[in-house]
Amino acid sequence: MASEINVAGDIASYVNTIYEDALLVLRDNLLATSVVRNYSDRSGTATRSLEEYGTVTINQVGDADDLASQSFKPSNLSTITPLEYGAQFLLTDLRTETDPFSVRSDAAMELGMGMAESIDTAIFGNMSSLTGGTVGASGSAISWGYFFSMMSRLRAQKVPRPWVFVCHPYQWDVLAKAASVASSSRTNAPEYLMEEVARNFFVQNSSGVDIFISTNVQTSGTDAYAMMINPMAIAYDQRRAPRLEAERDASRRAWELNFTAVYGHGVWRPKFGIQGIFDNTAPTT
């Protein structure tokens, strides 16, 4: 008589799958609203405009010459048009009652995180519209030289401080390595910067410029934009804060989770910002 071996595969169809968890898609922290000009003093969708005066011309005058009046009137510099944005999940009662996970709370969290990322990405999408100047070029490697060139151009254009620098993590990887033990020429970097990189990797300030890293910066192919700005360069106009509203749909035996916000964004004082365009290839060494 042949020997029968009883193996686990014999009962595979009877064994229930163990669902440990359902994970939300990873998203970066909301950053953009903290580094640009914020407005939240209005509701509705009326446009917000920024006007700019012309400049005076000082002329040499002779004794008893009659001065001629010059034009002194504002002209439009920038306009922001708020719009409404939103998304919805509809969860039936059977889905909620059967789902092994906390689907309702997970859905609400995903709506909030999705809206935050959408706002972040939209604000940073203005990086290529800054008109204070451009450093770098498509495919070029970011460097501390470009960082200081941005500072010099802001200063030459009389842009007041504070100044903020934002770049992609892959671009920061290049800058940090250039000022760390990973670089053979790191002795060219100031001692305080090398020490800060060695301690924290992500440096918060250099030469009086606050530094922020975000994966939501504007990209173009294999390149990504970086920027150095006075916060007035870009504006975020919140007319209605993001809000979640649950609504019962009795005929469908379901709950609607509605998440909406009303806001506008755009360049505000475009010459108050310098844009950089650099290679954004993932580091491999």
Mean pLDDT by 10 residues, the chain (285 residues): 64 59 63 94 95 93 92 94 96 90 89 92 97 96 95 97 96 85 52 60 79 94 97 96 93 93 97 97 90
CB within 8 Å of 37: residues ≥ 6 apart = 231, 232, 233, 234, 235, 236, 268
Q: Using the Cα atoms of residue 115, residue 48, residue 209 and residue 148 in order, give the sign of their dihedral.
A: positive
Burial of residue 131 (number of CB atoms within 10 Å: 0-12, 13-18, 19+): middle
Picking from 176, 218, 222, 217, the residue whose alpha carbon sits closest to that of residue 195 is 176
CB 24 within 8 A of CB 108: no
Instruction: Extract the tokens encoding 24.
Output: 């939300």
C-alpha–C-alpha distance, residues 37 and 123, integer Å = 11
**Per-residue pLDDT at 170:** 96
- Give strand pairing partners of 219: 224
Q: Is the separation of the CB atoms in 226 and 142 below 8 Å?
A: yes
Which numeric CATH code is attached to 32-52+71-279? Answer: 3.90.1690
What CA–CA distance (Å, rounded) separates 226 from 207?
17
In whole angstroms, how far apart are CA 190 and each of 100, 166, 234? 55, 21, 31
269 closest CA partner among 218, 227, 234: 234
Query: Within 13 Å and on the Cβ side, how many CA atoms surround 65?
Result: 8
Q: 255: how many CB neighbours lie within 10 A of its CB?
A: 18
CB of 217 closer than 8 Å to CB of 275: no
pLDDT at 261: 94
Report the SS3 class of residue 240. strand
Tell me the pTM.
Answer: 0.85
Return the domain boundaries, the chain: 32-52+71-279
User: 3-class SS at 141?
Assistant: coil
